[in-house]
Amino acid sequence: MTSTAHAPQASPTQAFPHRAATRPGRGRRARRALTGWLFVLPAAAMYTVFVLRPLLATLWYSLYNWDGISVGSWVGLGNYRRVLTDPQLLSSIGHAFFLILFFTVLPVIGGLLVAAMLQEIRIRGLGTLARTLLFLPQIIPGAAAAVAWVWMFSTDGTVNQLLSAVGLGGLTRSWLGDFDWALPAVGVIGTWLGLGFCTILLMAGIGKIDVSIYEAARLDGAGFFSTFRCVTVPALRAEIGVCVTVTIIAALASFDIVFMSTQGGPGYATTVPGVQIYQLGFTESRVGLASALAVVLTVLILLVVLPIQRFFRET
């Protein structure tokens, strides 16, 4: 009788040792991913509740003719057609784009020049004092700044007194009550608020530029403007992009400055979409139309900002 010896069977772990090696690694990665999601979860929950949910609700309301209280009636895209055809609503969007000149162009150009000059001067103690004075408007709420400028733009305010003192009394007027000058006057407030932010951000960007580059430019005979054009501006591409993006959003979504200074007047001379949305939703109880205008404004901001982000993105 012949006995057959059976070789012991290898366990899965012994037969495939690489599996045993990878399982602990996978477990660590899973735990690490779970830990990351747990850290993100509170912020994601807040973002969902206070950003995504209101955004979806606004999209839904924009499809109804609703006063905010009674049962709304379905109008589909009717509110959007109204936004894109109503001259008053279109003019408010045009005013917002006009404010880009004061909220973006002037602060960015002025901030570049001021930051470059402060970098060039480098007087002991002056840089800190200048940064403090320039950034001071940023710690003042926009509503408070608007109230202060209302006093300055009044008939007997600081602006008219200065014009009279230098012999330009014929130019004095009630700036915020003038149909032609009210919107530029509001823009001046935005320029004053945005200049400090742009200057501080650009000064921080200049600080990362190697000083030897400026020294080499001076040795080659480059003056202030040549150095500014060929060294400073190209090196601040990312910072300029941030300034342009933030200030354009501030111009298109402006509300507090305009509402506290003119409330959209005189007439509709300074009405911007932010003020128009507030008036439609809370004064005239036209929540559907206000929601549609808010959605259109959001889309316009994205259409303007995304190409700018792409343009200033460093390669």
Alpha carbon distance 164, 161 (integer Å): 5
Is there a domain that residue 44 lies in?
no
The total number of structural domains in the chain stands at: 1
**Chain-wide mean pLDDT for the chain?**
86
Question: Residue 24: what pLDDT?
Answer: 56
Alpha carbon distance 80, 139 (integer Å): 37
Of residues 120 and 126, the one with the higher pLDDT is 120
Is pLDDT above 90 for 287? yes
Is there a domain that residue 2 lies in?
no
Is there a domain that residue 280 lies in?
yes
Is there a domain that residue 267 lies in?
yes
What is the mean pLDDT of the segment spanning 107-128?
78
What is the secondary structure of 53-98 as a DSSP string?
HHHHHHHHHTTEE--SSS--EE-TTHHHHHHHH-HHHHHHHHHHHH
Q: Which of 13-22, 111-120, 216-225, 275-284 has the highest mean pLDDT?
A: 275-284
Range of the domain at 238: 85-312
Question: Residue 29: what pLDDT?
Answer: 81
Is there a domain that residue 55 lies in?
no
Is pLDDT above 80 for 306? yes
Question: Residue 1: what pLDDT?
Answer: 44
State pTM to two decimals.
Answer: 0.83
CATH of the domain at 277: 1.10.3720.10
Per residue in 129-181, pLDDT (tens digit) is 777 777 778 788 888 899 999 999 999 999 999 999 998 888 999 999 999 99
Question: Residue 2: what pLDDT?
Answer: 46
Is there a domain that residue 69 lies in?
no
- Residue 35 CB-density burial (10 A; 0-12 exposed, 13-18 middle, 19+ buried): exposed
* Integer angstrom CA distances of residue 194 from 100, 135, 161, 269: 11, 9, 25, 22
Is there a domain that residue 43 lies in?
no
Is pLDDT above 80 for 16? no
What is the mean pLDDT of the segment spanning 38-67?
93
Is there a domain that residue 103 lies in?
yes
